[in-house]
Structure 1
C-alpha cells in the first residue's frame, strides 16, 4: 500500500512540473516497472520521459529507463515511438556498453519485429539475445530468448532448429526451477509440433504440461483452461470430435469458475462446432445461444456478431434457409473485414451457401468476387455454392464448370493434406537424428563456449547422423536380402487381409523411399552427372508415393467409418451422362473405340455422392484405357434391373485368368504383367471403388468380358418416391 501511495505522489508531482530528485524517483520507477501484476504503463511512460530529462541520472539508470520504457511502448502498441526509444538505447549502449542490457535491447527489438511482421529481423535480434544472455549467464532471459526464437523459426518452417531452441528453453528453465518459464516453453513446443502436423507429439507435450500444472501447489485456473483449450484444438485437428468436445467442455467449466464470461462464450462456440461435426444440431444451437447471451452481457460486439453468424450456420445445417440468411447478415454487420478478415470471409461463404438455395442470383453476386481472395477451404464452399446457384438459375454450363472446379479444388486440398502428412512423417523420422545434434549442442554450451568447441560438437553430431544413416542403409539391404530369400516360401503361405496389406504397403513405400534417399545423397555430394534427370526421377517417385498414400488414406477412412459421403437426390439418367462427360478426357484416346448406352428412364432417381461416383468412374475408365491393347474397344452400359441401377464397364483383350479375376478387388493385389502397376497406379483403385459402392448400399463384381478383357459391373439402389 505504501508503494502505491508513494508512486501516486511521484506521478502527481511529475505531472504538475514540480522538481523531484532522480535519486527519489528512479528507485520507485524501477520497483513499479518490475512489480508483478497489472501495471499503469501510461503513467510509467510519463515518468520515464521526465527521468530522461534529468541530467543527474547515471549512465546505468539511463540505460535501464530506456530499456523499460521501450518495452512499455511495445506493450502499449506505440510501435513508432518504441522504435525511436530503441534507437536511443542502441546509441547509448555504444557509449556505455553492457552485455546484459545489450541482450535485452535485442530481445525487445525482436518482440517489436514480431509484432510488425518482420520475421527476418526478429530472428536476427533473438539470435543475438541468445548469444549475449549465454555470455552473461542470465538464465531466465536466455530461456525467453530461446523460446521466442523457436517461435520465429517455426513460422519459417525451420522445424528442426525451432525444436532445438525450444528444448534449450525448457532446459534453461529447469536449471533455475522456473515453473512458469517451463510451462511457456511447453506451450511453444506443442504449437511447433502442431505446425508441422505432428499432432501426436503435440498431445504428449500438452499432457506433460497438464501434469506439470496439476503438480503445482497453486495452479492458475486460467492457465489450466488455456491448456485444455489447446488440447481440444489438437483433437479437433485429428478429427477426434468426441475428445475435442470433452476438452472444450473442461475449458468452459474452468472459465465458468473464473466467471470470465467472454472466454466462456468462446469455449461455447467451439463446443457448438464440435456438436455440428457430430451432427448434434440441437446441442449446437443451445451452446451458441448460451454464448450469445454471455457476449451480450459483456457487450462484446465482435463476439456477438460471431455468435449470431454461427447461429445462422446452425440454421443452415437445419435447412432453415431464410432464418440462416437473416442471422448471417446480422452477424456479418458486426464482424469487421479489416479487423478479422478470416472470420468475415468464413461467414460470408456460409451466407452465400444459404442464398444459393433460395436466392441464387444474390448468391452469385456475393460469391463470385470472393473467389480471387478466398482462403483455400472457403474456396471449396464458394465453388460448390456457385454450382448450386447456377443450377437453380438453369445456367447448366456454368453450374457444371463450377462443379468441376470444386472437384478439382477438393482434389488439390486432398493432395496438399497428403503432402503435408508425408512431409510431417519425413520430418518426424529425421527428428530423432536431429535431437542428437541438439543434445550434443547443449552439452557443448554447458562445458565450453568457445567457437572451436561448438565446431567439434557439430562435427560429432554429423558423424553420428552419418553413422545412423549407414546403419539404417545396411539394415535395409540386410532385410531386403532376407525378404528375397523367403519370397518363394511367402508365395505359398495364406495371409489374412491385415497382414497382407501391411506387407504390401511396406514394400510399396520402401522402394521409392530408398530411391529418393540415394538420389538425394547423390545430389548432396555432387555424385550425379545429370541433376535434371535425377530430379525427374525424384518427382516420379514422389508422385507415386502421393498416389499410394492418398489411396491408403481413403481406404483407412472407409475402414474406420470416417469416409463421409454427401448424399443428394439426383435424376439418374442425367447423373450418368454427367459422369461420362467428366471422364471424357480419359477415354478420348487414339485406337480405342468407346460406346455408351444409357437405357434409364427420366423418372428414375438415385441418392448418391456425385463426387465419389465420379471417382469410381475415373478409376474404372483409367483401368480400361490403360489395360486394353490398341486397337481396342470399351463398352459402357447403364440400365435398370428390378429396384437397382446397373452400370457396366467392359473392355477388349488382354483379360485376366479366372484365379486372378476373384482377387481384383483385393488391396495391392499383383496380377500378371499385362495388368501390372507400372503405369503409375497404386493398386488400390478397385478396392476404393468397392468401398464407395458399398457405402452407396450397392455391389460391384468382376467377370470375363465377351470382348476378351474384363467386365466390371456395379449396382446402385433406386430411390423410391412415395405418392
Structure 2
C-alpha cells in the first residue's frame, strides 16, 4: 500500500506540471494512471472520478485506443462497486473500439470484463459462452494473465450452476498457473473457490485443507504488504468463522446419519415384533455407545475449542507487539517520506523557477525593446523552454518507473557495431570539452544484446555528459564493454575530481548533487543518474558507483544478455 501511495503522489506532481504546460495527452495519461492506482487501493469512487476525467480528454483528442482503455477500466470499477448494469455500455464500447483498431488481445481482455459484468448481472449463460471463447483463444496465444482472470470467472459460473467437477477442473488450472506466475492474490482467490466447491460437495476434509492453504497465502500477502494488526485479526477471525461453519456442517451430517440409523432400528422393531425384547436390548446398547461417543466427541470438541482460544490469545499478544513495532516503523518512515517529499518539491521548484525567471526577463526585455540582440534573446528563451521540457520529461519517466508503467521497446541488437559508431560521436563531444576518450570493446562482433536501444543510448549519454561537466580540462574518460556470467557489463570512469566515499550511496537519488552550491547551469538538474538507475533497473540490470583509479568516478552497469519479455504494456 505504501508503494501505491508514493506512486500516487508522484503522478499527482506530474499532473500539476502537465496542467501548467497544457499537454492534454500527458494529462489524460496521468489521470488514467491515478484512477488505476486508486482502483488497486480500493477507493472506487475516487478512481471513477479520475477515469471519467481521463475519458473526456481522450474523447476530445479522438485516440480510439485510449478511449477504449478508459471505457474498459471504468467498467471494471463500476463492477467492483456492484453497478454491473451501468458497466455494460462502457465495456461494450471498449470491445467495439478494440475491434475497430484490430487489437485482438485487447478485444479478449475487454470480452473477459464483459463476461464478468454479465455474470454479476445474472446473465450466466451468455457470460459462460463469452468466457469459454476467451479461454480458448488465450490458451492458443499463451496469454497467462488473461487466462488467470478467465479461469476465475468460469469457475464461479460452474460453482453457481453446481457443476462442481467442472468448477474444480478450472480452479486447478488457474491455481497451477497462479503458482507458476507467483500471483499470491490469485492463489488465495482460487483456494477460496476450492473451499466453496468442497464444502458444497460435502468434502469437508478437503475444504479444511484448501482453507488452511488460503490462510497461509493470505498471511504471506499481509506480510508482503505490511498490513496492520487489525487486518490480520480480521483474517484470523474470518478463518475461525469459516472453520466453525465447516465443523457445524460436519456435525449436522453426523446427526443426520445417527437419526437415519435410529429410524432403521425403529423399523426393524415394527417388522420383527417377535424379537422385540432382543431388539430393545440391542437398542439400549446402541444408545449407550452413542452417548459414550457423543460424550467423547464433546470432550474432544471442548479441547479443540480450548486450543483455538489459547492459540488466538497467543497470536493476539504477538500481533499487538508486532503492531506496536510496525507503528513505530511506519511513523519513522512517514517522517522520512515527508522530509524527502519536501526536499524534492523544494528542488523541483528551484529547478523550474530558475529557467522561468530567465524566460520572464528575456520576454520583458523584448516587450520593452531593451534587448540588444532580439534573435539571441529568442534563442535563449527557446533554450530555457527546451531545458524545462527535458526536466519535466525526465520527472515523468521517473514517475512511470515508480508505478511500474515504464515501457521498453526490446529488440536484438548487434551491439559492438552500434557501440563503435556511437563512441565515435562521443569522441567529438568530449574533444570539445578538451577531454580524451579511450575505449575497450571486449565483446564479439556477432554478440546479440536484447535491449531498448534508445534507453541504453540515453544512459550512456547521461554518464558521458556527467564526465564532461565535472572532469577537469585535459582529463581522460575510459569506456569499457565486456561480458561475464551471461551479463554484458559497461564501465565508464573519469579522472579528477572525484566523489567522497560517503557520497557514493546517494549519487542515484533524485535531485542530489555532490556540490550543493552548484547551479543548474554548471551542475545539471540532478536527475541524470536517477534516470540511469531507472532505465537499467527496467532492463533487469543493476548499477554500481565507486571511486576510479584515475582519480574520478567509476560507474558500472550490469545487464542480462537476454530479457524475459513480458506481456505488452497497455497504458
Shorter-chain TM band: 0.3 to 0.5
Instruction: Please give the TM-score of this superposition, normalised by the length of structure 1.
Output: 0.35
* Greater relative contact order (CA < 8 Å, ≥ 6 in sequence): 2
Instruction: Please give the TM-score of this superposition, normalised by the length of structure 2.
Output: 0.43
